[in-house]
Amino acid sequence: MAFTIRQLQFFIAVAEQGTVSGAAQNLSISQSSVTEAIKELESDLGVELFERHPRGLNITHKGHQFLRHATKILADVSDARRSFSGEQAVAGGRLQLGVTSLVAGYVLSDLLARYRRAYPGVEVSAIEDNGDYLEHLLIGGKLDIAVMVTSNLRDRTALQSEILEVSAYRLWLPLGHPLAGADIIGIGDIAGEPLIMLTVDEIEENTGKLLTAIGAKPHVAFRTRSVEAVRSLVATGAGVALLPDLVYRPWSLEGDRIESRDISGSLPVVQVGMVWRRGSGLPQAARDFVGLAQSQRTVRQRP
């Protein structure tokens, strides 16, 4: 029996939520429907997509690999529907994009691939830089749109934004770490742990604020701008990390396992979205990009 689009939607929802109950609530369906769909999908593929534990589900290495295929399949289905919906791809034009480091490989890459397939005649140029500089370029008319972290947007009077994804901070741990088996983990529990600090966007600032709030000085073992470096360092036991779930992957490049756990209390979230200059008439190529991004968000969030 071949898997269905609906099963893929349920699988992606569970992978994003980490629990069947969370996925069911997000999809507005019963938990039993989600559970049955995942079992049928695993049976069809002949692999375990999730590891079951009392607190929810952890996606397996095979599940992580299949997640990329599932997301692409749903995006392709959405593209196919758009091609018959009366929307015509622009014959030409130019799109100037900006992106921050944190989201370049986790949000923009898939979105840009879909855009190029849908509008092959558009010349696309993109620049990666920090949020402040991208805001400057947007206000100055040098960029049409930026895909960036919007939770720390500086000039909201001059810029308009639309959220694409909201991601909570979680604790990354090496396999077998004592905290991995704790029922509840608080900020105080990690105050003495060596931290692997990601220094892009607002990550270092937010992590520092969290620990300062409990009177603890961060014990930073390593600072890096590379998410892959964070993964490798955490997986090999060099320290722990507090990072948005957006960039979590359960395996390092070397194939070592990384655990991810919730932190109790009030933690900040990272909002990723599109930003453009308020009041500006977006060119057709930019309006098409916005529409495609909105449709991708719909595919990810709704059955």
DSSP letter string over 85-130? TTPPPPSS-EEEEEE-HHHIIIIIHHHHHHHHHH-TTSEEEEEE--
4 has pLDDT over 70:
yes
Contact 131, 154 (CB under 8 A): yes
Residue 301 pLDDT grade (very low, low, confident, very high; cuts 50, 70, 90): very low
- The number of beta carbons lying within 10 Å of the beta carbon of residue 100 is 24
248 has pLDDT over 80:
yes
Residue 70 makes CB contacts below 8 A (sequence gap 6+) with 8, 11, 12
Domain end marker among 35, 59, 83: 83
**Positive/negative CA dihedral, 126, 128, 131, 132:** negative
Domain end marker among 35, 53, 83: 83
Q: Mean of the pLDDT values across residues 138-147?
A: 94
Q: Model confidence over 169-222: pLDDT tens digits?
A: 889 999 999 998 888 888 888 888 899 999 887 788 877 777 776 667 778 899
For residue 18, the domain's CATH number is 1.10.10.10
Q: Mean of the pLDDT values across residues 268-283?
A: 86
Percent of the chain with pLDDT over 90: 26
Residue 59, domain member (yes or no): yes
234 has pLDDT over 70:
yes
168 three-state secondary structure: strand
**Positive/negative CA dihedral, 218, 224, 229, 231:** positive
Percent of the chain with pLDDT over 70: 91
**C-alpha distances in Å from residue 55, one per residue of 19, 62, 184, 207, 256:** 8, 21, 10, 25, 22
One domain for residues 179 and 236: yes
Domain end marker among 58, 83, 108: 83
> For residue 141, what is the DSSP state?
T
Q: What pLDDT, on the 0 to 100 scale, is given for residue 281? A: 81
Whether the model clears a pTM of 0.85, i.e. scores above it, the answer is no
Question: Across the chain, what does the average pLDDT equal?
Answer: 84
Q: Helix 284-301 crosses helix 61-83 at what angle (to 10 degrees)?
A: 130
One domain for residues 12 and 66: yes
Q: What pLDDT, on the 0 to 100 scale, is given for residue 83? A: 63
Higher pLDDT, 167 or 79: 167
167 has pLDDT over 80:
yes
Beta bridge partners of 94: 123
One domain for residues 291 and 210: no
Residue 272, domain member (yes or no): no
Range of the domain at 11: 3-83
Distance CA 163, CA 145 (A): 13
One domain for residues 257 and 284: no
* CB half-sphere exposure, 27, CA atoms < 13 A: 29
One domain for residues 249 and 178: yes
Distance CA 110, CA 106 (A): 8
35 dihedral zone (left: phi>0; alpha: psi -120 to 50; beta): alpha
For residue 145, the domain's CATH number is 3.40.190.10
Contact 75, 116 (CB under 8 A): no
Q: Model confidence over 253-270: pLDDT tens digits?
A: 888 889 988 888 767 778
Count of domains forming the chain? 3
